[in-house]
Amino acid sequence: MKKTVLIGVTGCVAIYKTCEIVRGLQKAGVRCKVVMTESATHFINPLMFRSLTREPVAVGLFDDKPGDPIHHISLSKEADVFLIAPCTANVIAKLANGIADDLLTTTALATEAPLVIAPAMNVNMYEHVATQQNMDTLKSRGVRFIDADSGYLACGDVGKGRLADPDVIVQATLEVLNVKRDLVGKRVLITAGPTVEPIDPVRYISNPSSGKMGFALAEAAADRGADVVVVSGPVSLSDPEGVEVVRVRTACDMLAAVGERFDASDIAIFTAAVSDYRPANPSDRKLKKGADDSALATIELVKNPDILATMGARKHAGQIVVGFAAETENVEENASKKMAAKNADMVVANLATEGLAFGADDNAASIVTAAGVQRFETMPKSELAHRILDAALEL
């Protein structure tokens, strides 16, 4: 699940830079929502932020939002971080003294999310003892300030008070969010979902893989800056934002698609549940009961290619190959054997029980490497995805 930054915007000429901040956070995979003071709307129309974020923009304390009579409370609970940029001396003073007389300050007082403030104002206002004391008060409460820059100000004065560079604000916000960007410049290839091996046009051999783990990994890797390609069997999941998804059906199709992209990848993660066998002679027409009983009763099977083993044998220096193993017994022992047999660097293993693994939103797993085993209790697959990436980067 994407993290949410609630962006507070106050009445300041530097407001145009907030558009760049929104874009920077979105590129990092962060969901942005905007709350504006009434004064801010005199500098920029809320429609601008609504267009950028594709989210409603909150302005009035008594905005008519159907089904949400206490808007400032719902906003405060959505935020993983509350960033105010630009933040005027007036709003800093209100926050320092617990004054909540509009939607922005009321939300700031109600939220339990970390508060990040990027001030912007005239140099004399910035250096005034009252402003400095107010900032010190907020810092003592754990508020993080992103220092204003020095330079030529909109009023014509020269000095400290310019809003910090948008990239600096974005990076500081991501640090507070604990969003890692350690995969920038890396290419990650992921297989996901089941494969489908046709018996005839209406019957097939497959398995219950939903693709959720692979897609969670793709979203996590993209959030951390990677260039991600997912080769997926048939699933009902939407494409993760910023991720290339290649749709395939059979194991042979998946092998071909992976083979085209494997050499260019830095990390290859094989989560797909590939069918081990396929019908040797699939029918091009529906086999009918009665007339085709013998063909339905006995289906000759042939082995499918082992995609993980094939790519493991082909990996180049510096490339990381990660396999997955769903087991019903001896989970870690079988995962260790699989890692050696397939020339993988790491295997993520889990117990395939009801309620976990296939189709579930949560999972527990053991990460097996040559260095040992890391065990993770049941957690959302979105969180487990980051643990898997962390482990891969430690190899």
Is 155 labeled as catalytic in the residue annotation? yes
* Residue tagged active-site, from 12, 19, 32, 155: 155
263: number of Cβ within 10 Å: 13
Cα–Cα distance measured from residue 270 to residue 347, given in angstroms and rounded to the nearest whole number: 9
Taking the C-alpha atoms of residue 280 and residue 205, their distance in angstroms, rounded to an integer, is: 12
Omega within 30 of 0 (cis) for the link into 119: no
Task: Check the CA dihedral 344-348-354-358 and report its sign.
Answer: negative
Secondary-structure breakdown of the chain: helix, strand, coil percentages, each rounded to the nearest 5? 35, 25, 40
* Residue ranges in the chain assigned as alpha helix (H): 16-27, 46-53, 71-78, 89-96, 103-110, 123-127, 129-140, 166-177, 212-223, 251-261, 293-297, 307-314, 331-341, 381-393
- Continuous segment of H or E residues that includes residue 365: strand 362-369
* Residues with a known catalytic role: 155
